[in-house]
A = this chain, B = another copy of it.
Amino acid sequence: MPSAPPSAPVVPLERAHIGIIGAGQLGQMIALAGMALGHEFTFLDPSPRPPAARLGRHIQAEFDDAAALEQLAVECDVLTFEFENVPVAALAPISQIQTLHPGTHALAIAQDRLEEKTFFGQHGIPVAPYAAVDSLDDLRAGIDRLGLPAVLKTRRLGYDGKGQFVLRTRDDAEPAWAAVHGQSCVLEAFVPFTREVSIIAVRSATGEQAFYPIGQNRHVGGILHRTDVPTEDSAQAQAEDHARRVLTALHYVGVLAIEFFEVDGRLIVNEMAPRVHNSGHWTQNGADTSQFENHVRAILGWPLGSTARTRPSVMLNLIGQMPDAQALLALPGTHWHDYGKEPRAGRKLGHLNITAAHEADCQAIAARAEALIFGTAPL
Distance in angstroms between the alpha carbons of A257 and B71 in the assembled complex: 46
Q: Which of A115-123, A265-273, A325-333 contacts B (4 or more CB under 8 A)?
A: A325-333
- Chain B residues positioned under 8 Å from A340 (CB to CB): 15, 38, 40
Identical chains in the assembly: 2
Distance in angstroms between the alpha carbons of A37 and B334 in the assembled complex: 12
- Chain B residues positioned under 8 Å from A329 (CB to CB): 297, 302-303, 305
From B38, B55, B326, B335, give the contact of A302 (CB < 8 A): B326
Interface size of A in residues (CB-CB distance below 8 Å) = 40
Contact status A306-B333, CB under 8 Å: yes
A328: nearest chain-B partner, CB-CB: B303
Assess A38 versus B339: contact at CB under 8 Å? Given A56-B54, A325-B14.
Answer: yes
Q: In this assembly, does A310 line the interface, its C-beta being within 8 Å of a C-beta of chain B? A: yes
Distance in angstroms between the alpha carbons of A337 and B39 in the assembled complex: 10
- Chain B residues positioned under 8 Å from A333 (CB to CB): 288, 306
Distance in angstroms between the alpha carbons of A355 and B40 in the assembled complex: 26
A340: nearest chain-B partner, CB-CB: B38
Q: Separation in Å of the A285 CB from the closest CB of chain B?
A: 8
- Chain B residues positioned under 8 Å from A36 (CB to CB): 29, 32, 284, 337-338
Per the 8 Å Cβ criterion, residues 99-147 of A in contact with B are: none
Distance in angstroms between the alpha carbons of A14 and B14 in the assembled complex: 35
Distance in angstroms between the alpha carbons of A12 and B329 in the assembled complex: 12
Contact status A355-B288, CB under 8 Å: yes
Distance in angstroms between the alpha carbons of A32 and B31 in the assembled complex: 10
Contact status B38-A350, CB under 8 Å: yes
Distance in angstroms between the alpha carbons of A310 and B326 in the assembled complex: 23
Contact status B288-A303, CB under 8 Å: no
Assess A302 versus B288: contact at CB under 8 Å? Given A38-B340, A54-B55, A55-B55.
Answer: no
Q: Which 4 A-B pairs have the closest CB atoms?
A: A38-B338, A303-B329, A303-B330, A38-B340
Partner-B contacts on A (CB < 8 A): 12, 14-15, 28-29, 32, 35-38, 40, 54-56, 284, 288-289, 297, 302-303, 305-306, 310-311, 322, 325-326, 329-330, 332-340, 350, 355
Given contacts A32-B35, A37-B336, A40-B340, 19 further A-B contacts (CB under 8 A): A14-B322, A14-B325, A28-B35, A35-B54, A35-B55, A36-B337, A37-B337, A38-B337, A38-B350, A40-B54, A54-B55, A54-B56, A302-B326, A302-B329, A303-B329, A305-B334, A305-B335, A310-B310, A310-B311
